Structure 1
Amino acid sequence: MTKRRAILCGYYGMGNGGDEALLASLVDALPPSIEAIALSGNPQQTRKRHNIDAVPRKSTPSVWNALRQADIFIWGGGSLMQDATSALNPLYYGGLMGVAQQLGLTTVAWAQGIGPLNRSLTRWVARECFSGCDLVTVRDRNSAALLQQWDIPFTLAPDPVWNLDSYPPQGLWDVPAPRVAVTLRPHPQLTPSRIDCLARALADFQSATQTCILLIPFQPHQDLKLAETLRDRLPGETHIWHSDDPRELKGVFHSIEFAIGMRLHGLIAAAAEGCRCWGISYDPKVSQLAAELHLPHWELSDLPDDPNTISRAWIDSYANSEPLGDARIRATIDRAGLHRDRLQDLLG
């Protein structure tokens, strides 16, 4: 039987562990009758990591040729339609979706987190694209509310990375327990003074708890320098650890006692692996996750300016908080499987 071809479109091959986890989840969700082709910033790496075909995401001839030979086009998870990072994001992803719809492909918006959309043009582009899709699934209530406002049918389910298999990580055998993971990322509101405050708070926390700090750059070309800065400021045993394998990146949290994170998928991985969490939110998607899971967190804009306040809160949470219960984790993982189920219902 001839396989149908599906173009997978997302922030792939860009070195972001969260987006690679979304791609792995999507590839797992596709029926065996589908041949996947990813649009990637690093096609060679994508082919090797995910065992699928890939073409350069910014090469117009390659993308056009792939679209003309495809049967299906899938926005493959994440916050693609948002203009907080750049107004060009919705135009790039929306433009590709629009071409796919004009070509008559089956089109899917899968596991989307919509917004923020602060401009009238990007809101219009998003509405047009979602309304033309054969299937829409979203991962948060704010996205669902927006689609409901637009009268677009959808399925709401937790982020599919909840449902991704995890592997035991390599390279941790010499890292002593107990371990605390920290996943920070650069942001305009993470100013030098706030970085200094967090470094001093982490140093106090580490001294009080005698823990090994594991700094995990989810997107090394963005996060590594910040991780190195923190490592050089901490008094106790501190390591920087990273894996290009999204299943290992999730699995590392199984051996972590406590996680402090800005990265959305760092917090999802930690919670799914039964780790206690503390969030620092730079984006509504992180705030929504913290609210839904009742995770303690600070908005980055409201981060305390006293390192003692921060360290005391972390120490108390480390000593007294509980992870999500097994029943809650299992229920969330099961509901995250709805993204896969709806996709398979459509594609057969």
Structure 2
Amino acid sequence: MKRILLAGYYGFGNLGDEAILEMALEQILQITDRKSITILSGNKEATARKYDIDTIDRYNVMSILRKLKSSDAIVFGGGSLLQDITSKRSIYYYLFLIRLAKLMNNKIIMLSQGIGPIINEKSKNAVASTLKLVDYITVRDKHSKDYLEALGVNQDKIFLSTDPVINLKAGESINKTPHGPKRVCFSLRNWKNADVSTKIVQVAQKLISDGIECCFIPFYYNEDLLLIEEVEKSLGDKAVYYKERLTTTDALDIIKNMDVMVGVRLHSLIFAAAANVPFVAVSYDHKVDHFANSVNMKVSCKIDNIDSIQLYSEIVNKIENENEEKLMLKQSVSKLRELTNVNYKILKEI
């Protein structure tokens, strides 16, 4: 059995990254058994309990080194690992892992990566030189592929895939629970100086006055809960707030019973697409734009320029044309799911 070290932004309570981990495990278990997998985690005890798999503290360099000595490959399961807009340290952490794995003669596989933004020139040069060591890299959008090729990465190593979370259960098998009023779910995040809560409250108030139920869900618990509480101060008991730590299953169960998802968080949109729930995207990063485009949609607005009237209108339009929206989304998602097959093919090369 192949011995795999699985790396990513795991163990931090971000539902998107935990869903990536679950889907990466599903793919890796096609080529090896559970006992041959080790996960790098920010909370190794919680990750080990949840998945019944060996874990290592992602910051314990000596443990990582020992594990790489006995591993066949390191697999980066997906996400926006190579970017420096949220943290300059993060990008160098993953580049360090790649170089360490190469030193230990491991194969290096990067799956479903979203590349960039990379602002710092030194970071760009470091990425370009380090990715020459990678055996294969699949990217989740064409922009990432073009970006890597522009950096000089060998195009024969780069393959177009998509975010594996699109396979989080099959939308066709998800049965919506009957309910009375239409429901709109919001997944928000703060971004720099953008006045997100005020604008979204304006939208929610108009929807509520139309008899539409508004719900708020945290995808990155530690950050999003604060924003939900800001919204609650204005809306009070007129809306529904999910304040507990949710699992990916919990979140999908909530979203599948919505009529529209309004998402800032990328993976809230991917969850919605996987559940065949029409969505309205508010973009804070090009990765949101790229995903919306991949399912033949456009973002409604940028996070630092939210037009509450336009956003309200787009939500209502999605509700009024729900059947057509679902059909178009189902067709687009079906094509995306086919792209994930390239990940399986590459894993078999280990």
Offset of residue 243 of structure 1: 5.3
In the alignment, structure 1 segments of 5+ residues that lack a partner are none
Aligned counterparts of 1:242 and 1:268: Cα–Cα separation in 2: 21
Equivalent residues of 2:187, 2:265 under 8 A apart: yes
Aligned counterparts of 1:309 and 1:247: Cα–Cα separation in 2: 32
- 2:32 maps to a residue whose letter is S
TM-score (norm 1): 0.89
Equivalent residues of 1:37, 1:53 under 8 A apart: yes
Aligned counterparts of 1:334 and 1:242: Cα–Cα separation in 2: 34
Offset of residue 296 of structure 1: 4.3
Q: Hey, what does 2:59 align to over in structure 1?
A: 58
Change (3 A) 1:178 1:314: closer
In the alignment, structure 2 segments of 5+ residues that lack a partner are none
Aligned counterparts of 1:33 and 1:197: Cα–Cα separation in 2: 48
The answer to whether structure 1 residue 328 and structure 2 residue 332 are counterparts is yes
Offset of residue 125 of structure 1: 1.8
Q: Hey, what does 1:281 align to over in structure 2?
A: 283
Offset of residue 8 of structure 1: 0.9
Aligned counterparts of 1:243 and 1:278: Cα–Cα separation in 2: 24
Q: Hey, what does 1:178 align to over in structure 2?
A: 182
1:178-197 to 2 correspondence within 5 Å? 178-191=182-195, 194-197=196-199
CA displacement 1:11-64 (0-9 Å, x = unmatched): 000100000011101100013425111110111111122221111111223222
Aligned counterparts of 1:177 and 1:241: Cα–Cα separation in 2: 22
The answer to whether structure 1 residue 16 and structure 2 residue 14 are counterparts is yes
Offset of residue 181 of structure 1: 1.1
Q: How much identity, in percent, do the aligned residues show? A: 26
**Segments ≥4 residues shifted beyond 6 Å:** 166-169, 172-176
Q: Hey, what does 1:303 align to over in structure 2?
A: 306
1:11 aligns to what SS in structure 2?
coil
1:14-163 to 2 correspondence within 5 Å? 14-30=12-28, 31-34=30-33, 35-149=36-150, 150=152, 151-152=154-155, 153-163=157-167
Equivalent residues of 1:73, 1:105 under 8 A apart: yes
Equivalent residues of 1:74, 1:109 under 8 A apart: yes
1:185 aligns to what SS in structure 2?
coil
- 1:25 maps to a residue whose letter is M
Offset of residue 331 of structure 1: 2.2
Aligned counterparts of 1:319 and 1:187: Cα–Cα separation in 2: 30
Equivalent residues of 2:98, 2:108 under 8 A apart: yes
1:196-275 to 2 correspondence within 5 Å? 196-208=198-210, 210-234=211-235, 236-240=238-242, 244-275=246-277
1:44 aligns to what SS in structure 2?
helix
Change (3 A) 1:213 1:29: same
1:252 aligns to what SS in structure 2?
helix
Aligned counterparts of 1:214 and 1:174: Cα–Cα separation in 2: 16
Equivalent residues of 1:80, 1:114 under 8 A apart: yes
Change (3 A) 1:226 1:248: same
Comparing both structures, which one devotes a greater share of its residues to helix?
2
2:256 aligns to what SS in structure 1?
helix
Equivalent residues of 2:203, 2:312 under 8 A apart: yes
Aligned counterparts of 1:267 and 1:236: Cα–Cα separation in 2: 24
